Structure formats: C-alpha cells, structure tokens
Amino acid sequence: MKIVVNKKQISVLCIVLVLGCVLILGIYTLMDLHSHGALKGSEIKASRESKSRVAEKGTSQNAEKRETSPQLVVKSADAKKAVVEQDLPTMEAYGLVYDYANLNLQQVVQAYLDEMGVPHESIAFSYKNPKTGELIEMNETQPMRAGSTYKLPLNMLVVDEVEKGKFTLTERFDITNTYYEYQGEHDNYVNAFGGAMTIPDMQMYSLLYSENTPAYALADRLGGIEKARTMFRRYGQSKGEIKTFSEENYTTTNYYIQVLDYLWNHKDKYQDLLYYIGESFPNEYYKKFVDGVTIQQKPGYVGEALNVDAIVYEAQPYLVALYTAGLGGSTPASEEVNGVGIYQLGQICYVINEWHRVNQNP
C-alpha cells in the first residue's frame, strides 16, 4: 500500500518532535537542579540574609560617619546681622570692620592680613568648635616656632604621672642641677625655693609666668625634655611632617588643636592647669582686645614667633591655636617682644573671635 504524506502532515510532525525535545530537556534540567542543589531554598535565603547584612553594615558605617562628622552651625542672615550691628561700635573703634557674616574664617583672617600687608604664610591657625566638631584651619601643617607653648602639654604629662601615683604634690624636688637657658633666672629660683620645688610650684611658675627653669624641672620628672618630647603623641599628632614638637621646638597648629581638644575633654583632670593659664597674661595676647569672656591661654614667644593657644568661653566656647612669624618686622634674631607684632596678634585674635560671635554663638 502506498503511503502519501503531504506537506501539511510533515509540518505538524516537526512541531510535535520539537515540542517533545523541549519537554524532555526541561525535565532533565529540573532533575539536575534538584540533584545538585542549585538555587536551593536555604541558599537563596542565605544569600538574601547576606545581602541584608551587608546593607545593614553599610548603613551602620554611614551612621557612624554621620555621628563623627561636624554638624555645622547654621544661623540665619538676620541673626548674624543682629550680632554685627551690636558689635559694630567696637569693630569701628578697633578699626577691624570686615564682612564677618558672609566670609568664612580663613577669608576674614586673610582680609585682615591683606589690609596690613602681612603675607598669608606668616600665619597658621586651627580653630575648633568642640560642640559641633567643626574644624577650620589655615597653614595648619606649616612648621612654626613654638616658643613656650610646649609647656602646656608638658604640664599635662606630669599631671598624668601624678594621677598614676608616680609623684605626689607635696614632695620637693631638687632643682639645683636642672638645665637652664638663663643663668640668672635659674639662680633666682634656686635661691627663692631653697634649691627644691614642689610640682604645684613648677606648674604655677611655668604656666602663670611661663618661666623656663620650673618647666625644665617638670621635664626632669619625665626623664628630661628629650624624653618628654617622645610622649607628646599621647594628646594627638599632626597630619604634617612634624607630628608633635621637633627637636628644634617647631610645631604645627594641627597638632596643638588636638592638645587643646584633649584638655577640653579632660577639664576636671587638668583643672589646676586651666586655672593657671586662665590667670596668665591679663590684657595681653588673646586678652588684648577680646574682653568680657573667660580666656584660658598659653602664649609662646621666641625670636620672630608670637603665638597663643586658647580656650575661649564665648556663649559657645571654642578652641584656637594661633602661630605667627615676623609680625611687626620681628626676625629670628629678635630678643624682645615686638610691640607692633603683639598688637597685630591681638587684632587677629579679635578678628577670629568676632567671626565666631557672628557665625557660631547661639
């Protein structure tokens, strides 16, 4: 019998065969997935949980960043204007009228420097609002001669040792062989204190009067000034090349603002030191033009350098490390405080404080 197959039947047959192949392939695929555990429910769940943990970790890290990031103070234009109008008579009297409300801190300081013809590199400062964490700096890693500003962290180191029980505050320590810079000053201390001083005596005279002999006597408690220098990292370190103080007694404001921040955060521990620097140099340095507020300051002077590190108790307190070189035409060979220079330093302190009053005070 002859079988006749037309084109239509062939087409139908091909379709059936293709569908059959697809069905068989699908069955084998499902069997393979099942036997090898691909995309098992438990693994899908684990994968989702892993992604969730990563997301949560990222969220947590972002939250930490938000918590440690400075929270900038935002004041209205009207609020700033009110402070400017209130303080304008004083600004005009001192000849220090600048656009405090619209310039940032670096710009307003530079406006003063430009008016006075002072090169920008002659000034370095670091400013911090301890409440918000906002840090504003200019030339902050530039090496600057420290002068006596090293005496504050030196005193802090000795307080730390007293707290550990290594020393007492009543013990008298021999100072007859203490290193000195000026023979006359050293001999005066030896005679005045009978050759021995207590730590509170050393603290008061090294901070309140910024004398060198009691400072070196404090350093002797730590093994000498070179040994003390290796310990200054306890309070922070600069992002610049000089981490704390160099052997030549240079430092950076980026380091010193960390010293002030540490001091601020441990006020109870160092309350005696804060008292002494609060009483030091009335009407000078940061206190020359800024009045009506408590200021705890540690000045430093040597050669061309006039510096001051301060905690200023405005309505919102702030910390500032301000270092200068060559103000008033002073040079490394200068042996006396330059009158014009210390006046200009006081003016810069006023400018910084006024900017803070306008922009940061509540």
> What confidence tens digit (pLDDT) does each residue in 321-333 have?
999 999 999 999 9
* 344 belongs to a structural domain: yes
Gap between the Cα atoms of 201 and 213, Å rounded: 11
Residue 39 phi, psi (nearest 5): 55, 40
CATH number, position 115: 3.40.710.10
* 53 belongs to a structural domain: no
Query: Mind listing the pLDDT tens digit for each residue in 116-174?
Result: 999 999 999 999 999 999 999 999 999 999 999 999 999 999 999 999 999 999 999 99
User: What is the reported pLDDT for 72?
Assistant: 87
Tell me: pLDDT of 336 over 70. Answer: yes
Q: Dihedral sign, CA of 135, 250, 306, 332?
A: negative
- Give the pair of three-digit tokens for residue 10: 């062939």
User: What is the reported pLDDT for 71?
Assistant: 79
Q: How many domains does the chain have?
A: 1
Q: Summarize the confidence of residues 175-190 as an average pLDDT.
A: 96
Tell me: pLDDT of 25 over 80. Answer: no
Tell me: pLDDT of 249 over 50. Answer: yes
User: What is the reported pLDDT for 347?
Assistant: 99
Host domain of residue 94: 77-150+227-360
SS3 353: helix
* 10 belongs to a structural domain: no
What are the Cα distances from residue 161, in Å, to 103, 168, 261, 267, 338? Answer: 44, 9, 20, 16, 37
What are the Cα distances from residue 306, in Å, to 100, 205, 251, 263, 264? Answer: 24, 20, 13, 22, 23
User: What is the reported pLDDT for 106?
Assistant: 99
Burial of 173 (0-12, 13-18, 19+ CB in 10 A): middle
Tell me: pLDDT of 22 over 90. Answer: no
Tell me: pLDDT of 62 over 90. Answer: no
* 28 belongs to a structural domain: no
Gap between the Cα atoms of 31 and 25, Å rounded: 10
In this structure, are residues 280 and 210 in contact, taking their beta carbons and an 8 Å threshold? Answer: yes
Tell me: pLDDT of 220 over 80. Answer: yes
* 330 belongs to a structural domain: yes
Compute the mean pLDDT over every residue in the chain, rounded to the nearest whole number.
Answer: 87
Question: DSSP for 200-269?
Answer: HHHHHHHHTS--HHHHHHHHHHTT-HHHHHTTGGGG---SSS--S--TT-EE-HHHHHHHHHHHHHTTTT
Gap between the Cα atoms of 214 and 276, Å rounded: 14
Q: Summarize the confidence of residues 262-277 as an average pLDDT.
A: 99
User: What is the reported pLDDT for 264?
Assistant: 99
* 183 belongs to a structural domain: no
Q: Summarize the confidence of residues 225-238 as an average pLDDT.
A: 98
Query: In percent, how much of the chain has pLDDT > 70?
Result: 81
* 126 belongs to a structural domain: yes
Token pair 């004083």 in the structure block, residue: 90
Q: What angle (nearest 5°) sits at the alpha carbon of residue 306, between those of residues 301 and 312?
A: 105
| pLDDT band per the 50, 70, 90 thresholds, residue 73 | confident
The pTM for the full model equals: 0.81
For residue 339, the one-letter residue type is G
Contacts of residue 75, Cβ cutoff 8 Å, sequence gap at least 6: 358, 359, 360
Token pair 């050669």 in the structure block, residue: 303
* 185 belongs to a structural domain: no
User: What is the reported pLDDT for 31?
Assistant: 39
DSSP-derived letter for residue 289 is: T
- For residues 240 and 56, which has the higher predicted lDDT (pLDDT)? 240
Q: Summarize the confidence of residues 65-74 as an average pLDDT.
A: 65
Tell me: pLDDT of 28 over 90. Answer: no
Q: Summarize the confidence of residues 201-215 as an average pLDDT.
A: 98
User: What is the reported pLDDT for 296?
Assistant: 99
